[in-house]
Structure 1
Amino acid sequence: MFFKQLYGQPLAQASYLIGCQATGEAIVVDPLRDPAPYIELARSEGLRITHITETHIHADFVSGARELHAATGGRLLLSGEGGDDWQYRFAAADGATLLHDGDHFMVGNLRFDVMHTPGHTPEHLSFVVTDTPRAAGPMGVLTGDFVFVGDVGRPDLLEKAAKVANTMEAGARTLFASLQRFRALPDHLQLWPGHGAGSACGKALGAVPSSTVGYEKRANWGVGTTSESEFVAAVLEGQPEPPRYFAEMKRINRDGPVVLGALAPLPPLDGADVCRRVDAGAWPIDLRSAADFAAGFLPGSLSVPYSKSFSTWVGSLVPYDVDLVLLVPDADVALVDRARRDLSRIGLDRIAGWATPDAALSAHAARGGVRGTVPQLTAAALADGIGLPAAHAVVDVRGQSEWAAGHVPGAVHIPMGELSDRLGELPGGPLLVHCQSGARSAIATSLLHRLGRLDAVNVSGGYVAWRDARRGG
């Protein structure tokens, strides 16, 4: 048996390639959209991808199952559970085999037993894996977003992200029932989860890549809670706000992601073309540092410095029906490719091309335009209250749990992902925008400037620096 976890850091997502070395057959579980890493790994190990499956209809990334199926001809195996509302609508057209609780299938000499484990989603499956030639019984369980290291899948996404009303508590109770089956599994089974620390699919995911069923029975709060009422209350409390693109992912993955195939490199654009595209409605995404952006940017640009959270923030703020232009410093083509890959993984495929910010600004200036700037204010100055603009309002763009843990008195609380929809709730006068440490507020102020609030000021250092300054005083 060959086993390899492939981990996508930006999404904290784990997929798996598992192969039978005797027959050369292999399966990929929960693939990301780019098929190349799986194909290359299989080839390097003398394996061929003959099966492709996933644990559920994902909300946080575009499934790569169809893409890998098109590239390899591997047999698609998808959940047939969940009822009429939670079926894969492309399954029949792609010749997929639907799986149900109690089924099993073979990949060479490897046996995969199917467990229906709903709660996170209605159709969710887990797979118990047995290397049959060893005759030692099951070896491990692929749990997807059902059980993580240290946490369990959140049951509130259907209501909060997909807007299916009155499903949170019912989902929590269903999840509790599924956990009864998990506790009955042998302690020695390895546990291979679908996500790690940093994912929004839970609230306390561990950074360790795998565990065992027995250890999770002892250390995982969700697995260890045996009172249903206590579990329901605990699993629904303190969940982070789901990124706004999650609803779009559910739709795309249910209906069937577009198969991209081999992608040509993104074309470089000259500054004039960037300006024309922006005039036509394209969103420029500026990948420079927040400080460089604030000093001068193409009006209408959204500042999202490239980091592991890049795709999360772009997906949370940018509509899916517009073109994007990437503004990349130093003509860094490798950065262009990484950013495009990350956006493709959440279904943002309408990227017209890329340019440098300098080229875009030069073309804008040649048309008589003025570069935008974002005023800056230190958190210490906000704490001192000296020299602040008259009639200002403090705007807190952190999440609900951060706000509940402490906030600036009198601040207006609107999480960053909700700013576009709740713009009318913001008061007049200068807006002093802060987050926890300064990263999100820089993005938020760029969005507010795009939305016409040119009086938005970024508070550098965020709430942490404000709190420390108050304590020091």
Structure 2
Amino acid sequence: MRPARGEQHPHPLEPGSPSAPGRRDAGPHRGHPLRNRAARVHLACRIRGRRSHFCGLDGHLRHGRPAREDALEPPRHPGPGRQEGSEGVILKQFWNEQVQQYSYLLGCPGAGEAIVIDADRNVEQYIAAAAAERLRIVHVTETHIHADYLSGSRELAQRTGSNLWLSAEGGPDWQYTFTTPEHKPLRDGDTIQIGGVTVQVWHTPGHTPEHISFLIHENGVLQGAMTGDFIFVGDVGRPDLLENAANMKGTAEPGARRLFQSVQRFAALPDHILIWPAHGAGSACGKSLGGVPVTTLGYEKATGWAWRISDENKFVEEVLAGQPEPPFYFKMMKHLNKVGPDPRPAVDALPRSSSLAEFEAARQRGAVVLDVRPSAMYLREHIRGSLHIPIYAMFAQYVGWLVDFQEEVILIASDEASAKQAATYMAYIGWDRATMWFGEDILRTYERAGHELVTTADLQACDVPKDAVWIDVRGRNERLGQNIPDAVGITLGEMVVRKDEIPQGKRLAISCQGGTRSPIGVSVAERLGHDVLNVRDGYLGFLTCQGRQKVSV
């Protein structure tokens, strides 16, 4: 079902691949075939009532950074009916590292119009990108009711006066429940016009019942598809989230069967079309998402496991097996996006405080003290009972795992920029209850008031005391075939709900793969009342000191 181990399949957008579109250097992201490239495919944009304009649809596919802002050059040899020197249609792809999510702006300068697909809450980025290209956002849409981040579609439509197109597929239980004057329903076969580019709606259920994809046509020719959480690079969207994250029992298997039918329908489309997904590597919306930001249908059909299974029962078994643990906040995201998200609060409004009285009053109210400083600083000294999540690529997801939606949060940060960055990242998942932030001076004030700060032992795996109990906080798929003998395996985000499985009265050695996640686990275990130490090199360090090779699965 999957390529044999060691079998090489060059990606169609890698250099030397016969189906690779033209590409050029995109800057500092090296070492990955598309982290330093921009893929390009050309469309003609035929504006009704005007002469034909050439439109070069430049993917601007930059992994890890916002879309380009510069104008696009026309191709050297325009096709029949196309004219040299005319303007280009612009496709900009925006990458949100915190939720591993792609969103898109598609615009035709000849018409002066643009559509935004799957917007996150940073709506200013789309408004700015459109303005830079002298485009007016006239349509906003999304592929489904998202579960992993809070949608910005409603706010963007209100801010720009755009039509808000939302799926009306999936039956009465799967409809958006908010209505606005901008809200318009979308069904299979509907089309949205952006100048001379036609965006066609396909109902692609499976990941969710209401899920739709957008086929991009020019002059009657299908050029690509924005597939949301249906087709990823190297994977397809998981159909079990409604059951395993939202507790909608009995939905996983029927969803898997609908997903199989959607895959079979999509497989009949031409191999050459480009696929622009809504998520990349690190997302919990699938189990094996690739790290490149675009693919082709032909490549996926040739190499992707889902496309190589013709038996529905085998597909169902495979797609439901080995899915990662869904973060707890997914259920709340699904609800908020269904009823209509509120606008994002202004991060500049987050006040700083140096008052110990305010700090203690917030803690008395039940506020979570969230220490977002680098882990080395937290381990060296911190306030007992604080939750530590450093600002890195998974920050928002672990906030969603470990902080309840209703809880007030006060931040301890190294500086103002870090505090505001943390509040911004929390807002991507709708965690808007950060009320103030404190600098490191609160530690000195706390100490002068007679309170003791905590220093956590930070040891290499080889130096962990023999009597310590290892707590392995890696995900269950990471632990398969790569276990630490006698360690208690509890996925980091599940430590609180599985607290009864953590041994009492023992010193705990908190370990992950290489030392990034374990300090978060240290803070969780300490908040639960345990004596802890951090294993700075994790499972990789354990292998080194055991003289063993890493076991592959």
Q: Please name the residue that 1:115 is paired with.
A: 202
1:78 corresponds to which of 162, 166, 184 = 166
1:22 corresponds to which of 101, 106, 110 = 110
Q: Name which of structure 1's ranges 402-411 and 246-255 shifts more when overlaid on structure 2.
A: 402-411
Kept in 1: contact 2:161–2:182 (CA 8 A)? no
Give how far 1:94 is off.
4.8
1:417 paired to 2:493: yes
Q: Please name the residue that 1:433 is paired with.
A: 510
Structure with the largest fraction of helix: 1
Q: Please name the residue that 1:103 is paired with.
A: 190
| SS class of match (1:206) | coil
Give how far 1:69 is off.
1.4
Higher relative contact order (CA 8 A, sep 6+): 1
- The amino acid that maps onto 2:425 is D
Kept in 1: contact 2:197–2:216 (CA 8 A)? yes
1:4 corresponds to which of 86, 92, 100 = 92
Give how far 1:261 is off.
6.1
Give how far 1:442 is off.
1.1
1:321 paired to 2:406: yes
RMSD: 1.7
1:31-42 equivalent positions in 2, closer than 5 A: 31-42=119-130
- The amino acid that maps onto 2:381 is G
Q: Name which of structure 1's ranges 245-254 and 257-266 shifts more when overlaid on structure 2.
A: 257-266
| SS class of match (2:350) | coil
Kept in 2: contact 1:271–1:359 (CA 8 A)? no
Kept in 2: contact 1:374–1:446 (CA 8 A)? no
Q: Please name the residue that 1:360 is paired with.
A: 442
- The amino acid that maps onto 1:183 is A
In 2, Cα distance between equivalents of 1:191 and 1:25: 22
Give how far 1:191 is off.
1.1
- The amino acid that maps onto 1:297 is H
Give how far 1:216 is off.
1.7
1:311 paired to 2:404: no
| SS class of match (1:458) | strand
In 2, Cα distance between equivalents of 1:327 and 1:263: 16
Give how far 1:143 is off.
0.4
Give how far 1:56 is off.
0.5
1:388 paired to 2:473: no
- The amino acid that maps onto 2:244 is K
1:14-413 equivalent positions in 2, closer than 5 A: 14-90=102-178, 92-131=179-218, 135-260=219-344, 262-272=346-356, 273-329=358-414, 331=415, 333-356=416-439, 358-382=440-464, 387-389=465-467, 392-413=468-489
| SS class of match (2:462) | helix
- The amino acid that maps onto 1:402 is E
In 2, Cα distance between equivalents of 1:8 and 1:421: 29
Kept in 2: contact 1:374–1:457 (CA 8 A)? yes
Residue 49 and residue 262 in structure 1: after superposition, are their counterparts in 2 closer, same or farther (change >3 A)? farther
Kept in 2: contact 1:438–1:460 (CA 8 A)? yes
Give how far 1:17 is off.
0.4
Give how far 1:260 is off.
3.1
Give how far 1:381 is off.
2.6
In 1, Cα distance between equivalents of 2:277 and 2:308: 17
Kept in 2: contact 1:271–1:361 (CA 8 A)? no
| SS class of match (2:471) | strand
- The amino acid that maps onto 1:100 is R
Q: Deviations over 1:237-272 (max 9, x none)?
A: 221111221111111111111123655432111141
Give how far 1:423 is off.
1.4
Kept in 1: contact 2:119–2:153 (CA 8 A)? yes
- The amino acid that maps onto 2:343 is V
Kept in 2: contact 1:102–1:115 (CA 8 A)? yes
Give how far 1:458 is off.
1.9
In 2, Cα distance between equivalents of 1:364 and 1:318: 23
| SS class of match (1:439) | coil
Percent of aligned positions with the same letter in both sequences? 44
Q: Please name the residue that 2:101 is paired with.
A: 13
Kept in 1: contact 2:95–2:102 (CA 8 A)? yes
| SS class of match (1:241) | coil
Residue 102 and residue 437 in structure 1: after superposition, are their counterparts in 2 closer, same or farther (change >3 A)? same
Normalising by structure 1, what TM-score?
A: 0.93
Q: Name which of structure 1's ranges 178-187 and 2-11 shifts more when overlaid on structure 2.
A: 2-11
Residue 25 and residue 397 in structure 1: after superposition, are their counterparts in 2 closer, same or farther (change >3 A)? same
| SS class of match (1:60) | coil
Kept in 2: contact 1:114–1:127 (CA 8 A)? yes
Give how far 1:212 is off.
1.7
**How many pairs align?**
459
In 2, Cα distance between equivalents of 1:405 and 1:81: 42
In 2, Cα distance between equivalents of 1:292 and 1:262: 28
Kept in 2: contact 1:67–1:261 (CA 8 A)? no
In 2, Cα distance between equivalents of 1:140 and 1:247: 31
In 1, Cα distance between equivalents of 2:469 and 2:347: 46
Gaps of at least 5 residues in structure 1 are none
- The amino acid that maps onto 2:426 is L
In 2, Cα distance between equivalents of 1:136 and 1:424: 61
In 2, Cα distance between equivalents of 1:102 and 1:347: 32
Gaps of at least 5 residues in structure 2 are 1-88
Q: Deviations over 1:340-383 (max 9, x none)?
A: 21110011101112111x3221232233211122233321134x
In 2, Cα distance between equivalents of 1:268 and 1:32: 27
In 2, Cα distance between equivalents of 1:55 and 1:100: 11
Normalising by structure 2, what TM-score?
A: 0.80
